[in-house]
Amino acid sequence: ARSHALIAQELAKLGHKVWVAVPSAMDRRKVESYSGVTTFRYSDFWEYTEDKAISQLEGTIRHAVISNTEPDWDWVWAFQDTFSEIYLQAMIEGKFTEYIRNVNPDLIVLDW
């Protein structure tokens, strides 16, 4: 996402009107760093929150520490599948595509 934001900034310097989708954590920390670029968060288009993922990660590590075992990372693969499904649902339900239509871009680059 950072490299996309840097490319977006360079396009903005050339006079293009640029929007870039970023993770909400990056939006909170770096939005002011990309002058001329309008950012929007992926999480604006679905119900799943990053807090839920962080909570699950913390639970996995906590369980491993308490039980003195290696963390069970199997949930990561399921999470990846779930997240892909969430992206797809955002596209199907039209929230994301409606937003893009309203922006009316000349070029779209999606990082899936």
Residue that is written with structure tokens 């871009």 in the block: 105
Is-above-0.85 flag for pTM?
Answer: no
Q: State pLDDT tens for residues 69-99.
A: 888 788 777 777 777 777 777 777 677 778 8
41 within 8 A of 24, measured Cβ to Cβ: yes
Whole-number Å distance between alpha carbons of 70 and 63 = 9
Whole-number Å distance between alpha carbons of 53 and 48 = 9
Q: State pLDDT tens for residues 35-57.
A: 788 877 766 666 666 677 778 77
Domain boundaries, the chain: 2-103
Q: What is the three-state SS of 28-68? A: HHHHHHCCCEEEEEHHHHCCCCHHHHHHHHHHHHHHHHHHC
